[in-house]
Amino acid sequence: SFYSWWQLCLGNNRCDCLPQVSKRCAVIGGSGFLGRHLVEKLLDRGYSVSVFDIRQSYELPGVTFHQGDLCDKQALLSALKDVSLVFHCASPAPSSDDRLLFERVNIRGTQTVIQACLDAGVQKLVLTSSASVVFEGTDVKNGKEDLPYAKKPIDYYTQTKIEQEKLVLEACNKPKGFLTVAIRPHGIFGPRDPQLVPTLVDAARQGKMKFIIGDGTNLVDFTYVENVVHGHILAAEHLRADSPICGKPYHITNDEPIRFWDFMSEVLVGLGYPAPRFHLPYTLVYGLALLLLLLTWILRPVMSFKPTFTPMRVALAGTYHYYSCEHAKEHLGYKPVVSLKEGIARTVASYPHLRRGA
Ligand SMILES: NC(=O)C1=CN([C@@H]2O[C@H](COP(=O)(O)OP(=O)(O)OC[C@H]3O[C@@H](n4cnc5c(N)ncnc54)[C@H](OP(=O)(O)O)[C@@H]3O)[C@@H](O)[C@H]2O)C=CC1
Ligand SMILES: CC(C)CCC[C@@H](C)[C@H]1CC[C@H]2C3=C(CC[C@]12C)[C@@]1(C)CCC(=O)C[C@@H]1CC3
């Protein structure tokens, strides 16, 4: 009957049986890891997409590319023409550790993005923030969105992500018809991730993944990229003037905290490398990482090298950092669409070139 067909549509949370209306949006940072997954899902859902990025990494029907720096308002304006919804997921890589670059792109660049959105008449801005904005290098267990921003952020990346999130949430202005929301993912992984799995495999290939930092019981969130994308699209589609989500941040996770070292071991073993086995005290490794960092600064004029174990990575590897996504469930109707087990299996299968011996 019509009634049961309609119930089926509503139950799916999305009506696959009705034609999708064409909608136009922009993804700033759409050439990156998360950005490209987001673009692909938006196309699936009937959006046409304008990608703005400093580089173009692919071509897809339904996508218009605009290459430029987000600090350049004029360049942004041409990408935002006729766009009512903008996703901002561009950032320099956390490993770049370049304070001036982070300040220029994440702070001043985000101010430019907001101004360009206002000038172009954009109605909704969805920012990709990070759950790390509340992380100070000590345990966070089931952290909710009301935790204060980190007073001592662990690095420049986190420091500028805090400023960026504040700017976007404060720009939310219902009378002006400009609505904003921030998604705070944590530990995104999945096919084409340039960071987590490649760094891990690189360390394993150099024989550096034999050790577990600390007792190995610390729980952490790792979030499959499609769940992060799902959270972004739900936020965009729930962002209306009468919605409680305006000007608010939302944690998006897999809702399955896992021991940091179990996750690392599953990925490593899946790719044919041995799992880490020997324990090292957390404070010892953290101290060594600080020493190594100091050495890179002292030696910078004569030689440059990038240590695998930075203080930031050691802090992330040896502490609890998992977050509650109850607010996203309540306000956005969020529920992870891919389990951790399935996400790890898909990720491992997507990296044949990183397998041991390949
Ligand atoms: N990966 C993770 O675990 C997490 C990521 N995040 C956030 O998610 C977002 C996406 O991250 P992810 O996909 O991993 O990162 P990527 O580096 O893969 O994607 C970011 C994209 O933005 C581009 N970009 C950088 N600077 C500029 C600029 N000035 N103007 C235009 N484009 C620029 C990058 O280009 P190029 O590569 O050339 O620099 C890249 O294409 C970021 O905001 C990040 O802070 C949050 C939590 C966890
Ligand atoms: C060498 C090993 C001890 C660790 C290898 C894996 C790490 C590269 C990753 C483990 C946790 C990841 C993580 C991020 C980047 C990659 C890891 C450090 C972020 C810093 C990315 C940006 C964020 O917003 C927060 C992430 C937290 C987890």
- State pTM to two decimals: 0.93
Q: Is 70 in the pocket of ligand 1 (CB under 6 A)?
A: yes
Interval between CA 12 and ligand 1 midpoint (Å):
31
Residue identified by tokens 């070139």 is 353
CA torsion through residues 257, 260, 263, 267, sign:
positive
Q: Looking at the CA of 224, which ligand is closest?
A: 1
- Measured from the Cα of 317, ligand 2's closest atom is 3
Give percent of the chain above pLDDT 70: 94
Helix, strand, or coil (residue 220) = strand
Mutation test of ligand 1: which of 51, 52, 53, 162 has the most ligand atoms closer than 8 Å to its C-beta?
53
Mean pLDDT of all residues in the chain?
93
Q: Looking at the CA of 263, which ligand is closest?
A: 2
What mean pLDDT is predicted for residues 305-320?
92
Residue 235: its pLDDT value, please? Answer: 98
Whether residue 56 is predicted with pLDDT greater than 80 in this model: the reply is yes
Domains and CATH numbers, the chain: 23-277+306-354 (3.40.50.720)
Give, using CA atoms, the residue closest to atom 19 of ligand 2.
187
Interval between CA 89 and ligand 1 midpoint (Å):
6
> Identity (one letter) of the amino acid at 182?
A
Q: Is 93 in the pocket of ligand 1 (CB under 6 A)?
A: yes
ipTM: 0.97
What mean pLDDT is predicted for residues 18-37?
84
Whether residue 2 is predicted with pLDDT greater than 70 in this model: the reply is no
Mutation test of ligand 2: which of 149, 162, 183, 196 has the most ligand atoms closer than 8 Å to its C-beta?
196
Q: Is 187 in the pocket of ligand 1 (CB under 6 A)?
A: yes
- For residue 23, count other CB atoms closer than 10 A to its CB: 16
Q: Is 199 in the pocket of ligand 2 (CB under 6 A)?
A: yes
Establish whether 157 is a catalytic residue: yes
Selected catalytic residue, list 47, 149, 156, 157 = 157
Residue among 60, 30, 67 nearest 44 (CA): 60
Q: What angle do CA 162, 164, 170 make, to 5 degrees?
A: 100
Helix, strand, or coil (residue 165) = helix
Biggest distance spanned by C-alpha atoms of the chain: 76
Q: Looking at the CA of 92, which ligand is closest?
A: 1
Residue 303: its pLDDT value, please? Answer: 87
Mutation test of ligand 2: which of 162, 210, 313 has the most ligand atoms closer than 8 Å to its C-beta?
313
Residue 304: band (very low, low, confident or very high) from pLDDT cuts 50, 70, 90: confident
The Cα–Cα gap between 341 and 272 comes to 17
Q: Is 311 in the pocket of ligand 1 (CB under 6 A)?
A: no
Residue 17: its pLDDT value, please? Answer: 40
The tens digit of pLDDT for each residue in 136-184 reads 999 999 999 999 999 999 899 999 999 999 999 999 999 999 999 999 9
Interval between CA 2 and ligand 1 midpoint (Å):
45
Q: Looking at the CA of 193, which ligand is closest?
A: 1
